[in-house]
Structure 1
Amino acid sequence: VFITTSMGIGAALRGAGDTVTPMRYNLVSNLINVVLNYILIYGKLGFPAMGITGAAIATTLSRSIAMIMALLAIYHPNSLLSLSERKGLFFDYDIIQRILKIGIPSGLEQFIFRTGQMEFVRTVAGLGTTVFAAHQVAMNIFGLSFSPSMAFGIAATTLVGQSLGAQRPDMAEKYGMETRRMGMIVAVTIASTFFFFGRHIAGIYTNDPEVISLAAGCLKIIAVMQPMQSTQFILAGALRGAGDTRGPLFSSLIGIWGIRVILAKIFINMGFGLTGAWMAQLCDQIFRSVFMYQRYNSGKWKKVKV
């Protein structure tokens, strides 16, 4: 409940052009979570050491604070998106229907992504402890590179949605492409860092030379992925801003299950090991970036009725 409420309000605020408020309450929530984890897990400041239970309590409390801050934000009269008790306590079934039309494909996309990722990890886990450790190191570093692409994707969603709402499809298209170009600059910078300094970055996580060597090889593949990842994240965000959530859904279904999962199994069985698994991810990213680029260039998203 806490997470759903705060995330829903955050998405609405971003759609209205306010990206600062969600950042603020998520930052406060995460800081509180870190502090409470330390206190409750290890039993500091007079509290008993509660281990995993303490971590759960810390997470629940921090998420509840995020929800309270989010609710206070939208009930504030000066907010870009505000609610009053008279208007905020009744259901509008026409709006609910429109929300579900957009939300269900987005939810299915996330389900496909998560389940596909689980199967991909299960496949890699069969390669052994050392290989899986290297994979986890690479995945942790890979996860860091998501942040810029996701940020530009959120910006594209907001700008495209607002432009179409203002009956300016020409500006919507420009915003999408300009956001992609900006994201590409960041992606190339990250790619260069991973490619040339991958071994040093992997060394931050472990001292095992074999794990470092394997992870560094994965980071070279991740470096090649960066432009494709940036393209598909940002253009998918632009399409969502236009109400086209089916495009990202089909892209994820084919890319993750039809390409990444299947090719990972094939490449591993052919003896390519961890490199083969990450090459499968690269193929997935190539497909999804091309798919998103073509769908965006078609311009059909400008005519989607929400």
Structure 2
Amino acid sequence: RFGTPSGLQLLMDVGSFMVFIMLTGRMGELAFATSNIAFSINNLAFAPLLGFGMAASIVVGQHQGAQRPAASQRAGYTGLKMGLTYMCVIGATFVLFPHAYFDLFRPKNAGFTAEEMLGLGRNMLLLVTVSGLLDTVSIVLSGALKGAGDTRFVMIYMIIGSWLMLVPGALLLLWAGVGILGLWGWLAAYMCVLAVGFWWRWRQGHWKTIRVIGNRAFIPRE
């Protein structure tokens, strides 16, 4: 009831990003290398955000199991505030010190100069920061929704967003000949759609009516 939708949601999410990365490989050596480095830099922010999402899921699940929806709602918003605070701090370093990050990943013997990569990467890190802030909302609130048992909505919404928006849109933009920044802009738009949807679902409060455990109390065996 709860585990299968979460597993499918993760599979569809990862699959769509694999397709997106494959599409960036058709944009040329400079664009592909810079995009991959931007993804690597983004992982510095993304991995801790997963922790905020897992924490929100666990705490909300505990409160829902104890039938404390008000405490669940506070926990969800607390996790969101913490995640956004963290992302604002690390995102500021992305914007202010892009050269420091790209120096860590600068490829050797490439068919382009470091200045060319940094020129493109500086703009890309701006989009990484915007996407990261939006992704924070998605990760934390989708985690909170899953902790409350609303896993089916998270699965369906993620599948619709990733396979009916992100992938088809990226294919269309690639066919239209937009640059790599256009693809990253589309990724940011996708993150915005996810963030708005999960925010709306959390504010709607349907998850408060879901029972994550049965009516029978658990009595430990002696």
TM-score (norm 1): 0.64
- How many residue pairs match? The answer is 206
For the residue of structure 1 that corresponds to 2:143, the secondary structure is helix
Alignment of 1:17-96 (within 5 A): none
Q: Is it true that 1:275 corresponds to 2:181 in the alignment? A: yes
The residue number in structure 2 matching 1:209 is 115
- CA shift digits 1:200-226 (9 cap, x unpaired): 311221163322322222111011122
The residue number in structure 2 matching 1:131 is 31
- Contact 1:198-1:220 within 8 A present in 2 as well: no
The residue number in structure 1 matching 2:165 is 259
Q: Is it true that 1:225 corresponds to 2:131 in the alignment? A: yes
- Give the unaligned 5+ runs of structure 2: 108-113, 213-222
For the residue of structure 1 that corresponds to 2:87, the secondary structure is helix
Distance in 2 (CA, whole Å) between partners of 1:202 and 1:272 is 24
Which amino acid is 2:156 matched to? F
- CA shift digits 1:96-132 (9 cap, x unpaired): xxxxx11111111112112211211221111122211
Aligned residues with identical type, % of pairs: 31
- CA shift digits 1:165-212 (9 cap, x unpaired): 111111011111111111111111122111121233112211633223
- CA shift digits 1:70-108 (9 cap, x unpaired): xxxxxxxxxxxxxxxxxxxxxxxxxxxxxxx11111111
- Contact 1:264-1:278 within 8 A present in 2 as well: no
- CA shift digits 1:227-272 (9 cap, x unpaired): 2111110001111111111222123212222222222223333333
Q: Is it true that 1:163 corresponds to 2:58 in the alignment? A: no
For the residue of structure 2 that corresponds to 1:204, the secondary structure is helix
Distance in 1 (CA, whole Å) between partners of 2:102 and 2:161 is 27
The residue number in structure 1 matching 2:95 is 195
- Contact 2:46-2:132 within 8 A present in 1 as well: no
Distance in 2 (CA, whole Å) between partners of 1:196 and 1:250 is 37
The residue number in structure 2 matching 1:142 is 42
- Contact 1:259-1:280 within 8 A present in 2 as well: no
The residue number in structure 1 matching 2:192 is 286
Which amino acid is 2:181 matched to? T
Distance in 1 (CA, whole Å) between partners of 2:167 and 2:124 is 17
Q: Which has the higher contact order (CA 8 A, sep 6+)?
A: 2
TM-score (norm 2): 0.87
Which amino acid is 1:119 matched to? V
Deviation at 1:147, TM superposition (A): 2.0
RMSD: 1.5
Distance in 2 (CA, whole Å) between partners of 1:114 and 1:152 is 19
Alignment of 1:288-303 (within 5 A): 288-303=194-209
The residue number in structure 2 matching 1:241 is 147
Query: Aligned match of 1:115 in 15, 18, 30?
Result: 15
Deviation at 1:141, TM superposition (A): 0.7
